Amino acid sequence: MITKKYTGHYDIGRNILVIGSVHGNELTPSSAIKMFEDTLLEPLLARCASITTLKWVNTSGIIARTREYSEISTTDMNRMFDKNADDSDDLSDTVSKLKNMIVDADVVIDVHSSPNCYPMVLINVDNYSDSYAQFCVDSNIAYAIRYNENPTIKKYAMEMSGIGITVELNGIESVQYQDAANGAVLIKKIIDHISTYKWAPTQKEPTYPVMFEAKTHLSGIVDYTGHVLGGSIFNGSVVGTVTDINDDRSPIPVTYNGPDGRIILMTEGYISPNEPYILVQPHKAK
Ligand SMILES: [Zn+2]
C-alpha cells in the first residue's frame, strides 16, 4: 500500500481520503488515483485541509491476482469494516490502519472498478440516499443506487466520518489508459465539488427514483455485444444475452423492462439467478 498525504491550504476545509484497489483485481482505481495526484490534485489543495491517497491497498490480492484479500485469510477486504467489531477480532494491520484513517477523515472516497462499467458514484439504498443523489445531481456526476447492506468502507465512513462515497470505474484485471484517465477526472470532480459543498448527509426516508435494474432468472455469462455503455435503452430493448456455462444452449436474449431512455451503467460478467446484472441510472451526467 502506498500512502501519500498532501497538506491543504484551507485549514477549516475538509480532510479527504481517497482509497484505491481494496479488491486485488481492480487495478484501474490506483492507476486513476496516481493520474489524479500527478496532474489534477494541486489546485484542489487551496480548498481542502488535506488530501490523503492510499493506492494498491490490497497488496496480497494484487500479487495473487485475485479480488480477495489473503493477508490473514482469503476473504473480501471490503466486508471487514463492521463498526461493532471488536479490535481484538482478527483484523490485519492493513484493515486496522484503514479504520483509523477513515475515522480521521471527513470525506472518504473508495474507488472500485467493474467489468463494462460506466464511471459513476454508487449509492446505497438507505436513509441517506437522497442527499447523496442530490449531491451527484448538483455536481453533475453520474450515479446509481443499489441495495448493499455489507460492512463496507463506505458504510463505515458514513458511520464514523460523515461522508462515504463509492466510485466505480471501468475495467478489472488490466488497465486501459482511457479508463484510468476518466477515473482521475471523476475523482477530481467529486473533490472539487465536495470541498465546498454545504452538505452533511441528512437522514430521511428515501424518495429518489427507484433504481432500475434488469434481472434474470438465468445464470451464466452476460454479453452486451452491440451495446454502448452509457447509451440509452428503452422498454422492450434486448440488452444482452446470457449463456449458461453449465449448459450448451445458445445465448438467451434478455429484455429490459423498465422506463424508457435509461442509461446502461454497469454489468457483471457472471450472474446468478435473480441477481441484478445491470444498473440503469435515473439521471445522466451531462
Ligand atoms: Zn471492488
Looking at residue 181, what is its pLDDT? 97
Residue percentage of the chain with pLDDT more than 90: 41
State pLDDT tens for residues 231-271: 666 777 776 666 655 555 566 676 666 666 655 555 544 54
Ligand 1: centre distance to CA 166 (Å): 9
Q: Count the domains in the chain.
A: 2
State pLDDT tens for residues 154-168: 999 999 978 999 999
pTM above 0.85, yes or no: no
pLDDT above 90 for 14: yes
Ligand 1: centre distance to CA 113 (Å): 6
Confidence of residue 42 (pLDDT cuts 50, 70, 90): very high
| Amino acid letter, 153 | I
* Residue 155 within any structural domain of the chain: yes
Ligand 1: centre distance to CA 25 (Å): 8
Q: Which of 50, 147, 184 is nearest to 107 (CA)?
A: 50
Looking at residue 203, what is its pLDDT? 73
* Residue 203 within any structural domain of the chain: no
* Residue 57 within any structural domain of the chain: yes
**How far separated are the first and last CA of the chain, in Å rounded?**
34
- Domain of 218, CATH number, reads 2.40.50.100
* Residue 86 within any structural domain of the chain: yes
pLDDT (average), residues 43-58: 97
* Residue 286 within any structural domain of the chain: no
Same domain, 26 and 107: yes
Ligand 1: centre distance to CA 22 (Å): 6
Q: How far apart are CA 22 and CA 60, in angstroms?
A: 10
Ligand 1: centre distance to CA 199 (Å): 26
Ligand 1: centre distance to CA 36 (Å): 19
pLDDT (average), residues 271-276: 45
pLDDT above 80 for 220: no
Pairing of strands 143-146, 120-124: parallel
Please name the residues in contact with 90: beta carbons below 8 A apart, sequence gap of 6 or more: 72, 73
Ligand 1: centre distance to CA 208 (Å): 24
Same domain, 163 and 219: no
Ligand 1: centre distance to CA 46 (Å): 30
Same domain, 30 and 158: yes
Element (H, E) at 55: strand 48-55
Domain hosting residue 53, numbered range: 2-194
pLDDT (average), residues 108-133: 85
pLDDT above 80 for 48: yes
DSSP class per residue in 200-237 = --------SPPPEEEE-S--EEEE-TT--TT-EE-TT-
The Cβ-side half-sphere exposure at 53, using a 13 Å CA radius, reads 23
Q: Which of 121-130, 191-200, 234-243 comes out lowest in average pLDDT? A: 234-243
- Domain of 129, CATH number, reads 3.40.630.10
Looking at residue 172, what is its pLDDT? 82
Same domain, 181 and 274: no
Same domain, 50 and 157: yes
Ligand 1: centre distance to CA 27 (Å): 10
| Residue scoring higher pLDDT (8 or 150) | 8
- Name the domain boundary from 150, 168, 194: 194
Ligand 1: centre distance to CA 193 (Å): 24
State pLDDT tens for residues 80-103: 898 887 665 666 788 889 999 999
Ligand 1: centre distance to CA 172 (Å): 9
Looking at residue 37, what is its pLDDT? 98
Same domain, 273 and 154: no
Same domain, 103 and 154: yes
Same domain, 39 and 123: yes
* Residue 177 within any structural domain of the chain: yes
Same domain, 59 and 185: yes
* Residue 156 within any structural domain of the chain: yes
Q: Between the CA of residue 26 and those of 66, 92, 114, 203, 205, what are the distances in Å?
A: 9, 20, 7, 32, 33
Same domain, 12 and 123: yes
Cell of 186: 471523476
Same domain, 172 and 231: no
* Residue 204 within any structural domain of the chain: no
Q: Which of 257, 227, 258 is nearest to 240 (CA)?
A: 227
